[in-house]
Amino acid sequence: MIEPVQLPSPWRDVRLTVVVPTYNEAGNLPVLVERLLALPLPGLKVLVADDNSPDGTGEVADKLAIEHPERVEVVHRPGKEGLGRAYVDGIGRALDGGAEYVAQMDADLSHPPEALPGMLGALLSTQAGVVIGSRYVPGGELDANWPLYRRALSGWANLYVHTLLRVRIRDLTAGFKIWRADALRDIGLERVQSNGYSFQVEMHYLATKLGHTILEVPIRFEERRDGASKMTTATKIESALMPFKLRSRHRHIDG
């Protein structure tokens, strides 16, 4: 586990909301929240967007919110509608709640919470609209236990989307990042239509089209510790078709 960067004041005091979509993450969520709240970022809040998990993740999140009433919020969604819909809901609520910066991360402990202060510092010290915790820039790492087929799928997906969309990001499918609130408002969540993991690609594509600077910093990506991957055949099909849809859907947007 890395040591989090100690940011100077007032940087460490900014209003940062970490949006965490969940579906069957009852075992991982308490560990993640504990690590997030231990960071030297007193303005950090956690917003859990749970898709009515049958394993009781929503109830676990409610208990965490009771234990940390000023720092943990829970959004109970009616059912599993996809990662993208959960993020649109959670990010929208974070912005409405006054967040100056909004982070996205998975609940499965694959993204190191301790990297957030360094990512925030990189954002605050540049004009970037978003900072991505990247697996594929120099210094980035993949857990040795990450299955070979997942490595191949991730590598192929990035190459495929690069070829079709010409977006200059190495980790186009990354789900660990921090946004400036004004960049998110400029993108407009109402524009985003992706349901699954292609949500990440659509957000990156829109940010690029609108002229926002995107910065990638290296992270170590861990294999999940508990539960199972949510990647389905339908998600893979949506991801394969998405670049073609994005070029058509957003062809009139210019930075």
pLDDT (tens digit per residue) in 7-66 = 999 999 999 999 999 999 999 999 999 999 999 999 999 999 999 999 999 999 999 999
3-class SS at 7?
coil
Would you say residue 7 lies in a domain? no
Least confident of 40-44, 138-142, 217-221: 138-142
Would you say residue 134 lies in a domain? yes
CA distance 255 to 108: 35
Does the pLDDT at position 108 exceed 80? Answer: yes
Q: Residue 175 belongs to what H/E stretch?
A: none
Does the pLDDT at position 193 exceed 80? Answer: yes
Residue 1 pLDDT grade (very low, low, confident, very high; cuts 50, 70, 90): confident
Would you say residue 3 lies in a domain? no
Which position has the higher pLDDT, 209 or 160? 209
**For residue 57, what pLDDT is reported?**
98
Report yes or no on whether pTM surpasses 0.85.
yes
Would you say residue 10 lies in a domain? no
**For residue 162, what pLDDT is reported?**
64
CA distance 201 to 99: 23
CA distance 78 to 67: 24
Would you say residue 132 lies in a domain? yes
Does the pLDDT at position 236 exceed 60? Answer: no
**For residue 167, what pLDDT is reported?**
76
Closest by CA to 237, choosing from 188, 185, 197, is: 197
Would you say residue 1 lies in a domain? no
Number of domains in the chain: 1
Instruction: Let me know the angle formed at the C-alpha of 143 by 137 and 149, rounded to the nearest 5 degrees.
Output: 90
Instruction: Let me know the angle formed at the C-alpha of 62 by 61 and 64, rounded to the nearest 5 degrees.
Output: 65
| HEC string for 9-53 | CCHHHCCEEEEEEECCCCCCHHHHHHHHHCCCCCCEEEEEEECCC
**For residue 163, what pLDDT is reported?**
64
Does the pLDDT at position 91 exceed 90? Answer: yes
**Which range marks the domain in which residue 25 is found?**
16-250
CATH code for the domain in which residue 51 is found: 3.90.550.10
Does the pLDDT at position 232 exceed 60? Answer: no
Would you say residue 55 lies in a domain? yes
Would you say residue 72 lies in a domain? yes
